[in-house]
Chains A and B, each alone.
Chain A
Amino acid sequence: RKEVEQDPGPFNVPEGATVAFNCTYSNSASQSFFWYRQDCRKEPKLLMSVYSSGNEDGRFTAQLNRASQYISLLIRDSKLSDSATYLCVVRNTGFQKLVFGTGTRLLVSP
């Protein structure tokens, strides 16, 4: 079983739609959680951290369910510029290694 699992998509949505991505992780001792964004043929960049209480940054909402080992990202009012791959990232114990999921590809169309 992969440490971090995501549906690769692609998710095709129209502008203005709300879309949600899910991610599951296998290591119950994982400490921290993040979403990164990667544009086509570009490097990954941190989108937002995921806190236990849930957190919001503009149109983006991230939630964590430790009991189910599940992380989500909700994007409201999708823009064309949101088209990218969204990588779920988990920090494990020990050397604090960041483990990346495969990513979920989002395509927003006019």
Chain B
Amino acid sequence: EAGVAQSPRYKIIEKRQSVAFWCNPISGHATLYWYQQILGQGPKLLIQFQNNGVVDDSQLPKDRFSAERLKGVDSTLKIQPAKLEDSAVYLCASSLNKGTSGELFFGEGSRLTVL
């Protein structure tokens, strides 16, 4: 079974530029998550989708971050304009049925460096 796919794996941009990350979850997984993991910290939830609806975006910096999951399958996360503190790994994860079992399947992540 294919896992969660993310691209690009690495991205280097200058501050104030924009960047977009793409995620394709495991087939059949209704719930999709975007996490931000800063070096030395645990993953922090940015946004959670149930199918194509947002169920939690309380920690998403909405002045610069946006995310969509238009057809309830793949998703994009955009940052515009980027700040130095956005340097992190952006992890996409998916789960069955809101992740009731606690098992989230993560992609390999997109590592962003903002110079």
Binding site for B on A (CB under 8 A): 4, 8, 32, 34, 42-46, 49, 87, 89, 91, 94-103
Contacts and interface: CB of A to CB of B under 8 A. Distances in A.
A100 B43 contact: yes
B108 A42 contact: yes
Interface stretch (B11-19, B20-28, B68-76, B97-105): B97-105
Nearest to B44: A100
Nearest to B97: A96
Given A102-B40, A102-B41, A97 B56 contact: yes
Contacts of A8: 40
Given A43-B109, A102-B40, 20 more contacts: A32-B102, A43-B107, A43-B108, A44-B43, A45-B106, A46-B103, A46-B104, A49-B102, A94-B56, A95-B48, A95-B56, A95-B98, A96-B99, A97-B56, A98-B99, A100-B35, A100-B42, A102-B41, A102-B42, A103-B42
B45 interface: yes
B115 interface: no
A97 B35 CA distance: 11
Given A97-B48, A102-B42, A89 B102 contact: yes
Which secondary structure characterizes the binding site on chain A?
strand
A85 to B, nearest CB: 9
Interface of B: 35, 40-45, 48, 55-56, 91, 98-104, 106-109
A29 B100 CA distance: 16
Contacts of A42: 108
A43 B89 CA distance: 10
A87 B102 contact: no
Interface centre among B35, B43, B91, B108 (most CB of A within 10 A): B43
A101 B42 contact: yes
Nearest to A101: B42
Given A43-B107, A43-B108, A45-B106, A99 B45 contact: yes
A68 to B, nearest CB: 21
Contact of B42 (A46, A87, A94, A95): A87
